[in-house]
Amino acid sequence: MLTALAPGLGAAPALCRAAATASLVRWLSTAASNGNKLQVVLEPLDGHNEGIFFLSLSRPEARNSIGRQFLRELKECLYTVSQERTTRCVVVRSTVPGVFCAGADLKERAVMSQAETAQFVRELREAFNQLDALPMPTVAVVDGFALGGGAELALACDVRVAGRDAQFAFPETRLGIIPGAGGTQRLPRIVGTSRAKELIFTGRRIDMHDAVKMGLADHAADETGAEDVALNLARDIARGGPLALRLAKQAISLGGELDLNSGLKLEEACYAQVIPTKDRQEGLAAFAEKRQPKFTGE
C-alpha cells in the first residue's frame, strides 16, 4: 500500500553506504580537478557520531548567499545523501562565522533576465523541497543571519537550533518581491498564519529568544554552542533505526496533510513496513539482552 507513497522504503534504498560515499568522492574529485572551491560540502561523521552527516554551507566571501554554483552543489549533496541507506540524521550548518545563509545572491540576480530569474527561483524551490523530502531527519544550526532564502532553507529542515547570534528575517517585500522558495507556505505551518503574515509583511528580524517563543526555532543554544546542541540532538536521533526514523518522518510529514482517519491508515501502512525488517528483530533482541541495538537499515 505504502509503496506508491514512498518507493523503495520497504527495502533498502538503491545505494549502500559504500556506493554513496564513492559517489561523493567522485564528485569532490571532479570539483577539485575543475579548480572550483566547494561552496556546499557533505561530510559523513564517524565514531560516536556514526550515522550523522554534516551538510556545510561554506561561501564566506558572499556570506553563504545562494548563487548558481551554491545551488548546484546543494542539489548534488542532497541527492547523494538521499541515497545513503544507514544515515540517521543530516545536520545543516554554516562554516562562516556570524551567518547561516544571507539568502539569494543579489549580485547574480541583478544581471538575470526575467526568464532566468523565474527559472532560478523555481530550481531553488525544488532544492528546498528536496531538502524537506529527505528520508532521514534533518537539523538546521542557525547561529547568525538567516535572511530570506536562508530562513527558507532553515524552514525546510525538520528541527531548528538557534544560537545566541541567530537572526531570522523574511525581508523580500522590502525588495519588491515575496518569499519564493517555500516561505509563504512553510512559515505559516510552523508559526501560524497571522504570525507568518506579520513577519513577511514587515520583514522584521527575530532573535533566538523570539524565534523559540513563536516556534520558528525548536532549541535555544544560549549557554552551549548551537552546533554542540544540534550534534547532541542528532546523536539522540541516531540511536533509532534508520528505517524506523524514515518511516516515522514520512508518517508525520504526510499525515499532517490528511484528516485523522486517513492519517491513522497511513501510520498503519508505515508500521507494516517495519514488521518484516531485520532492524525490528535486532531491536527486540537488544532489548531482551539489555544492550544497545546495532541497526543496519535492513
Grid cell of 67 as nine digits: 548563487
- Is 297 an annotated catalytic residue? no
Residue scoring higher pLDDT (240 or 14): 240
Grid-cell match 525588495, residue found: 175
pTM to 2 decimal places? 0.85
> Quick one: which of 236, 248, 254, 253 has its CA closest to 274?
248
- Is 183 an annotated catalytic residue? no
**Which of these is catalytic: 73, 84, 108, 152?**
152
Grid cell of 126 as nine digits: 525544488
Tens digit of each residue's pLDDT (9 = 90 or more) over 23-65: 454 445 445 445 579 999 999 999 889 999 999 999 999 999 9
Grid cell of 246 as nine digits: 524514515
pLDDT given for residue 253 in this prediction? 93
- Is 4 an annotated catalytic residue? no
Q: Report how far apart, in Å, the C-alpha atoms of 95 and of each of 78, 199, 262 are.
A: 18, 27, 42
**Which of these is catalytic: 51, 103, 144, 149?**
149
- Is 226 an annotated catalytic residue? no
pLDDT given for residue 207 in this prediction? 95
**Which of these is catalytic: 154, 172, 183, 238?**
172
> Quick one: which of 155, 153, 158, 151 has its CA closest to 252?
158
**Which of these is catalytic: 104, 154, 156, 226?**
104
